[in-house]
Amino acid sequence: MDESIGIFRLFCRSIQRELTINQIAKATKKSYSFTNRIVKELIHKDLLAAKTIGHAILCKAQYKNNIARQYLALASALEAYQELQQFSVEKQKRIATILALVQQHLLTAVLIQGQLYIIQHDDTTIKGEFQVISRVHFKEFVRQHHIDQMAIIAGYETFWRLVGEDFE
């Protein structure tokens, strides 16, 4: 797996998360020197924002950067795969069917403790065994539920684009 994806997996769990290179090295179980080299490349490519505090460099994902969002999307897809594997095959099929049926309205979809939430452009009424969240309420929804509780299961890049628009 590309080392960058492992680093971006750390930033998928908290929107405002800032980590030092040492914290990233420990979390990814890589050496400090290896992590330092990779992180500095990501900073140079503007995929991570960095600020120096004393001798430490604090890093944060650049949610407005298209390539950073692609890394976040891929990391989210890996997280979603693991989350969905916990469900029965029947529930996985129901979720896939729901997503196919609401596809024309769908911006992104997340699971929170097994509950499906569909984020869409407007307040179009669609009913089912899921909750519908309008785009205008996305920021409030993310703040209320905390991103570390969510498994993004559809519209990965759109989810991170919305985060970039609403939180940066």
pTM: 0.86
In this predicted model, what pLDDT tens digit does every residue of 116-145 receive, in sequence order? 999 998 766 666 678 889 899 999 999 898
Would residue 54 be called left, alpha or beta, if left means φ above 0 and alpha means ψ between -120 and 50 degrees? Answer: left
Q: What is the DSSP letter of 71?
A: H
**Which domains occur in the chain, in start order?**
3-61 (1.10.10.10), 79-167 (no CATH)
In this predicted model, what pLDDT tens digit does every residue of 42-67 receive, in sequence order? 999 999 999 999 999 999 999 999 99
